[in-house]
Amino acid sequence: MPIPSFNLLSPTEWADYQLIDCGNFEKLERFGSYVVARPEPQAIWDKSLDNRTWQQTAAHFHKDTQNTEKGFWEVKKPAIQANWPMTYPLPNQMLRFKLSLSSFKHVGVFPEQACNWDYIFEVLQHSPPVNPPPKVLNLFAYTGGASLAAKAAGADVLHVDAVKPVISWARENMELSHLQDIRWVVEDALTFVRREVKRQNKYQGIILDPPTYGRGPKGEKWLLEDMINDLLKQCALLADERNFFLIINLYAIGFSALVLDNLINQLFKNPTNLSIGELYLNDQSNKRLPLGVFARFHR
């Protein structure tokens, strides 16, 4: 088994996003026009900036002591909009996002994923021209950053998420980005993939960004450590044998990138150009905040 390249990847030159500081289990970020503070379990070191700087936020997320998965936003500036814009530049295309304060501490975009948006766009742009266009499947697709990048590169994109309001949010982002014809599916990812295998469908790209745990629209249970092997087995059956790329991200603390290396080399034929590693964000004091492991390859 060849040893894959190991990379630490972080977005660069992004005018609309900045990790200002991180520490004491929090991170201070600027999204577009607003600075927000949110919990961050991996920021176990001390903060670099003083409390006065941290207090100058538009909103600060506090965990619910009764429900660790939810919490509430303390809005510091009454003028903060319910929704506000954010952009990300691709070559000859500007991705546009609607941001909003959610009860799960998210605002609508995972900034570290910009590294993968660039990769998706580049791989598809440099793929041999095909007719019909390459088919890309985005699972656990959230508000659609990866779907937008694939569509901007000319792919036929199928966007799958179990939460209907999130699908509506992704559709808004598509329209804001002046893109069209992404196909939307509200369904449990594993259920959908198994059905696609039975239909003998093939894809030229698959993107997976699974949570540690979750529920499908019909109450289907998702546990990452129990189900990721089965899900990737099904995805391998959907992969075009000649022209294909895969991206997978895992956020579970304790998962090594080598877990993905083993899974991909065992399940996928000829995973050339395989790269594994960690995604991170760099703050103003040059502290690097790890935000999950990834693996990706294209052939």
pLDDT digits (tens, 9 = 90+) for 109-145: 999 999 999 999 999 999 877 789 999 999 999 999 9
- Which pLDDT tens digit goes with each residue over 97-108? 999 999 889 999
Q: Is residue 142 part of a domain?
A: yes
The residues, ordered by sequence, that sit 6+ positions from 288 with a Cβ below 8 Å of its Cβ are: 8, 10, 280, 281, 282
Q: Are strands 135-139 and 156-161 parallel, antiparallel or unpaired?
A: parallel
Residue-level pLDDT at 36: 96
Q: Note whether residue 67 is domain-resident.
A: no
Mean pLDDT, to the nearest integer, of 62-71?
78
Residue 19 lies in a domain: no
Residue 261 resides in a domain? yes
- Average pLDDT score over residue span 66-85: 82
The arithmetic mean of pLDDT across residues 145-155, rounded, is 98
Flag whether pLDDT at 178 surpasses 80.
Answer: yes
Q: Is there a contact between 177 and 94 (Cβ–Cβ < 8 Å)?
A: yes
Considering the domain boundaries, does residue 36 fall inside one? no
**65: pLDDT strictly greater than 80:** no
CATH number, domain of 165, equals 3.40.50.150
Round the average pLDDT of the chain to a whole number and report it.
93
**Run of H or E residues at 19:** strand 17-23
Note the pLDDT of residue 2: 65
Q: Indicate the pTM of the whole model.
A: 0.94
Q: Give tens-digit pLDDT for 205-238.
A: 999 999 887 888 888 888 899 999 999 999 999 9
Q: Report residue 69's pLDDT band, with 50, 70 and 90 as the boundaries.
A: low
Angle at 235 between CA 253 and CA 2, to 5 degrees: 70
> What domain count does the chain have?
1
Q: Is residue 15 in some structural domain?
A: no
In the predicted model, is pLDDT for residue 76 greater than 70? Answer: yes
Expressed as residue numbers, the domain containing 152 is 82-298
